[in-house]
Amino acid sequence: MFLKEGLTPPSLVLGYMSVKAMLNAIYLHRGGWAIFMNEISFDELLLFARDQNIIDLDTELFLGEICFLTNHKYIAATHNLQKEHVTSIMSRIEELLYSLSEKFDERLQI
């Protein structure tokens, strides 16, 4: 929706927040209560996901770059991204969310 209106920064931020929420859900399901004790960083979530074989190195690097791009200091630079690049990024985020949801569903059935 935002992407169709040419709102690149909100699109990327929502993509980042969606992935972070899914990783938080998987983390909580696996018994990680540090989220409630104190805020767990996105880097810690990525490390957890890699340690648990939930994501691979390529995905970890991709998500690290998305985190960097959505940082308030650098988000203005995303206005200059070509629409094709943003569409590609958002498609990859969507595929990743689908993959994570499948892994989350598999874990619930155990």
| 110 pLDDT higher than 50 | no
Statement: residue 106 has pLDDT above 80: no
Query: What average pLDDT is seen over the chain?
Result: 80
Q: What is the pTM of this model?
A: 0.80
Q: Kindly state the average pLDDT of the residues 39-47.
A: 86
Lowest mean pLDDT among 26-40, 44-58, 65-79, 81-95: 26-40
Q: Pick from 110, 109, 100: which is nearest to 55 by CA?
A: 100
Q: How many Å apart are CA 21 and CA 13, to the nearest integer?
A: 12
Mean pLDDT on 63-81: 78
Q: Which residue has the tokens 């569409």?
A: 87
